Amino acid sequence: MTAYLSLRNIVKSYDGRVNAVDDVSIDIAKGEFLTFLGPSGSGKTTTLMMIAGFEEPTGGAIELEGEDLTRRKPYERNIGVVFQNYALFPHMTVERNVAFPLRMRKFPRDRQAARVREILDLVGLGQFAGKYPRELSGGQQQRVALARGLVFSPDVLLLDEPLGALDKSLREQMQVELKRIHREVGITMVYVTHDQTEAMTMSDRIAVFNHGKLEQVAPPLEVYHRPHTRFVGEFIGDSNIFAGTVDASRPGCVTLDALGPVQVDVDAWRRVGTGAFDVLVRPEAVQLAAPGAGPARPNHVAMEIGVIVHYGDSVLVIGSASGQRLRMRIAGALPDAIREGATVIVGWRPGDEHLIARS
């Protein structure tokens, strides 16, 4: 991948003792939609603010197309920022709000109106140019903020949890709109969120943050199915994670601390070598066993059902096996055998698991 925006060993400390961002390096391609994902306090917003120039790195460098931006002021960087709280000027119309960055950059006055109309049409607000922010819904105000971030054709657009203040329906609608706009404009976007669904839905790649460090940078499906660390496996999506050890004398065999020996993908078994590992099995990979299957069969265990959660199109079954928490997701109708308090035989196929080395 050819780097367009590069973060090189970025460090940020506010007190000289603890690093809020700790040696973060990422190469971002031109036109990429990269999401910083992580819990509160993980360093993702601080990293975004350093790219914008609102925070200065304690160490490391930020480069855009080979030019060092590290010590440049925010107004010296051709970078747009969209905030969660919109930050619109209440006394200005939509048109004037969007035109503001053009005026600040001395954009030719005779071309400002046409450029504003063009960008308002892009975000679907052409008919609202004369309205004031107070007259708009939350979703419409966020579109104005997005238009203002795009109007001056920035090299990079940074979005700091821009959909966090919207309700679920509006948030999902705006996710689709953001992807459409990204596709049409082709701009490089760096997006911050703690919402896994947003990250999985919108991103070309996801950068997972934890305690100021990068845990993994990869496409959404790779982060989901092949997490590098236990944290990533637990933070993204539902998970079953079992502690185990590789049995070097039995190809494809891993002994789980609670459940005993299970069969895994032989190639994965060879790659991980020997020692202690975590075994990740996603709930959708756990299936109700056919009648007559017993716990003695490979990767089949007796599950005592505790709670059943209905989602409409699927059901999450939460229970335990030999004292180990176990989750199973079933698509469609609920089988008769699945009821709270019942014990059923469930299992997964060798290869449906993922082995994670202990750090």
pLDDT surpasses 90 at 55: yes
Distances (CA, A) of 159 to 2, 21, 36, 117: 22, 18, 10, 22
How many other β-carbons are positioned within 10 Å of the β-carbon of residue 162?
25
Mean pLDDT of 299-315: 92
Among residues 170, 199, 225, the one where a domain terminates is: 225
The predicted pLDDT at position 1 comes to 67
CA atoms of 155 and 76, how far apart (whole Å): 12
Q: What tokens were used for 48?
A: 């975004």
**Domain presence at residue 351:** yes
Are 149 and 289 in the same domain? no
Are 192 and 263 in the same domain? no
Distances (CA, A) of 299 to 249, 264, 318, 324, 351: 18, 9, 18, 14, 11
How many other β-carbons are positioned within 10 Å of the β-carbon of residue 42?
23
The predicted pLDDT at position 162 comes to 87
Mean pLDDT of 277-301: 84
**Domain presence at residue 60:** yes
Among residues 195, 225, 255, the one where a domain terminates is: 225
**Domain presence at residue 306:** yes
CA atoms of 193 and 201, how far apart (whole Å): 12
The predicted pLDDT at position 296 comes to 65
Are 212 and 275 in the same domain? no
DSSP label at residue 188: E
Among residues 225, 254, 276, the one where a domain terminates is: 225
The predicted pLDDT at position 292 comes to 66
Do residues 338 and 302 lie in contact, with contact meaning Cβ atoms separated by under 8 Å? Answer: no
List the CATH number of the domain containing 92.
Answer: 3.40.50.300
List the CATH number of the domain containing 344.
Answer: 2.40.50.140
Distance of CA 42 to the CA centre of its chain: 13
Are 204 and 253 in the same domain? no
Report the number of distinct structural domains present in the chain. 2
Are 190 and 246 in the same domain? no
Are 179 and 266 in the same domain? no
Domain range for residue 133?
A: 5-225
**Domain presence at residue 32:** yes
Kindly state the percentage of the chain with pLDDT values over 90: 71
pLDDT in tens, 71-80: 999 989 999 9
Sign of CA dihedral 154, 156, 160, 162: positive
Mean pLDDT of 165-184: 87
Are 129 and 186 in the same domain? yes
pLDDT surpasses 90 at 167: no
Q: What tokens were used for 270?
A: 């060879």
pTM to 2 decimal places: 0.91
Are 246 and 304 in the same domain? yes
Are 207 and 249 in the same domain? no
Distances (CA, A) of 96 to 100, 151, 162, 261: 6, 12, 21, 67
**Domain presence at residue 233:** no
- Helices and strands per DSSP (H, E), number in the chain: 9, 20
pLDDT band of residue 320 (cuts 50, 70, 90) is very high
The predicted pLDDT at position 131 comes to 95
Q: What is the mean pLDDT of the chain?
A: 91
The predicted pLDDT at position 159 comes to 95
pLDDT surpasses 90 at 251: no
CA atoms of 142 and 7, how far apart (whole Å): 28
Mean pLDDT of 288-313: 84
pLDDT surpasses 80 at 272: no
